């Protein structure tokens, strides 16, 4: 029986005294459960830049998670221009950029979720809308609870990898973000948009599997999201087979 692919998942960081009086890492169980459900082995990755090469040798796919943080605008050449840019975690952003760079260089499958999609765009030279409500759009991108439920429609580009995975051009996704992709980074293309023009998914044009989505498919509340998580684990399994010869 083939060995299961090991999926590295980046994690959140907090100093809030909710779990411990000392700093702690965190990850919602949905991320790990979604990987396990589809046959992968989740491996959480602490922010150790010195360990990136070892991480890259161990894991077969990289999932860059969302979390309670914003990417500092300095990473895309801007100053903070919104009072809503909060909880900047430089150590996380530096680590994820370095890890993503290594993963892309070896054609490892990558899935960026929410902040992970934003990280992919910033790494590629793109920029972010620092606070989506400031744009005055018609879609509420920070839905009320329960945040796991499908909330608004997206339209998927028919020539995209995402469309071939989801097998649908229009479907509903959840929405829990206050930032979004603005200027698109190099070697990326838009693969889905919301009705108000906010970019909901991107993908790398010359990488076999590098997708970023603004919503949270790890909740797996729709067939399309289950298809996406399954395809990512399968791509990682295929990568593992090639890596091991």
Token pair for 168: 């649908």
Task: Give the per-residue pLDDT at 150.
Answer: 82
Distances (CA, A) of 152 to 39, 142, 224: 29, 11, 14
Question: CA neighbours within 13 Å on the CB side: how many for 167?
Answer: 8
pLDDT digits (tens, 9 = 90+) for 16-25: 888 899 999 9
Active-site residue, 210 included: no
pTM more than 0.85? yes
- The helix (H) or strand (E) run that includes residue 119 is helix 115-123
Summarize pLDDT for 170-229 with one digit per residue, the tens: 999 998 899 999 999 999 999 999 999 999 999 999 999 999 999 999 999 999 999 999
What is the per-residue pLDDT for 228?
98
Q: What percent of the chain has pLDDT over 70?
A: 98
Q: How far is Cα 222 from Cα 118, in angstroms, rounded to an integer?
A: 23
Whether the predicted pLDDT of 1 surpasses 50:
no
CA–CA gap between residue 33 and residue 23 (Å, rounded): 24
The answer to whether residue 84 scores a pLDDT higher than 50 is yes
Q: Is the pLDDT of residue 86 over 60?
A: yes
> Is residue 69 a part of any domain in this protein?
yes
Pick from 169, 189, 173, 154: nearest CA to 226: 173
Alpha carbon dihedral 125, 199, 84, 78, in 10-degree steps, equals 20
* Whole-angstrom distance, CA of residue 154 vs CA of residue 169: 8
Q: What is the mean pLDDT of residues 39-64?
A: 99
Q: How many domains does the chain have?
A: 1
The pLDDT of residue 135 is above 90: no
pLDDT value, residue 172: 94
Determine which one of 38, 96, 114, 177 is catalytic. Answer: 114
Percent above pLDDT 90 for the chain: 82
pLDDT at residue 138 greater than cutoff 80: no
- 124, part of any domain: yes
Residue in the structure block whose two tokens are 């018609």:
138
Query: For residue 117, is it within any domain?
Result: yes
Is 1 part of a structural domain of the chain?
no
Q: Is 216 among the catalytic positions?
A: yes
User: Are residues 117 and 202 in contact, defined by beta-carbon separation less than 8 angstroms?
Assistant: yes
85 confidence band (pLDDT: 50, 70, 90): confident
Measured in whole angstroms, the distance separating CA 54 from the mean position of its chain's CA atoms is: 22
Question: Residue 126 is part of a domain; what is its CATH number?
Answer: 3.40.50.880
Say how far apart CA 73 and CA 46 lie, in whole Å: 23
Does 155 map to a domain? yes
* β-bridge pairing 199-204 and 170-173: unpaired
Q: For residue 70, tell me if it sits in a domain.
A: yes
Q: Containing domain of residue 196, as a range?
A: 6-243
Q: Residue 136: which of 81, 198, 82 has the closest Cα?
A: 198
DSSP string, 148-178: TS--EEEEE-TTSHHHHHH--SEEEE--B-S
Cα torsion through 146, 34, 180, 52, rounded to 10 = 140
- Which tokens is 227 given? 């298809």
Three-state SS string over 124-144 comes to CCCCEECCHHHHCCCCCCECC
Q: Distance between CA atoms of 229 and 235, rounded to whole angstroms?
A: 10
């Amino acid at each position: 029986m083939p060995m299961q692919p090991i999926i590295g998942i980046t994690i959140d960081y907090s100093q809030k005294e909710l779990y411990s009086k000392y700093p702690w890492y965190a990850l919602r169980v949905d991320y790990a459960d979604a990987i396990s459900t589809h046959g992968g082995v989740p491996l959480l990755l602490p922010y150790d830049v010195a360990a990136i090469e070892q991480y890259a040798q161990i894991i077969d796919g990289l999932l860059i998670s969302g979390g309670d943080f914003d990417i500092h605008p300095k990473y895309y050449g801007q100053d903070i221009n919104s009072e809503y840019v909060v909880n900047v975690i430089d150590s996380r952003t530096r680590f994820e950029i370095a890890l993503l760079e290594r993963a892309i260089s070896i054609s490892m499958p990558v899935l960026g979720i929410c902040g992970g999609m934003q990280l992919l765009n910033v790494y590629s030279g793109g920029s972010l809308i620092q606070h989506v409500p400031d744009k005055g759009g018609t879609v509420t991108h920070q839905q009320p609870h329960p945040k796991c439920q499908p909330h608004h429609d997206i339209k998927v580009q028919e020539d995209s990898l995402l469309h071939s995975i989801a097998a649908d051009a229009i479907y509903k996704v959840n929405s829990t973000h206050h930032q979004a992709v603005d200027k698109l980074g190099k070697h990326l293309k838009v693969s889905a948009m919301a009705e108000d023009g906010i970019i909901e998914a991107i993908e790398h044009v010359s990488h076999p599997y590098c997708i970023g989505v603004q919503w949270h498919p790890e909740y797996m509340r729709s067939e399309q999201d289950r298809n996406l998580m399954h395809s990512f684990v399968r791509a990682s399994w295929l990568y593992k087979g090639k890596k091991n010869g």
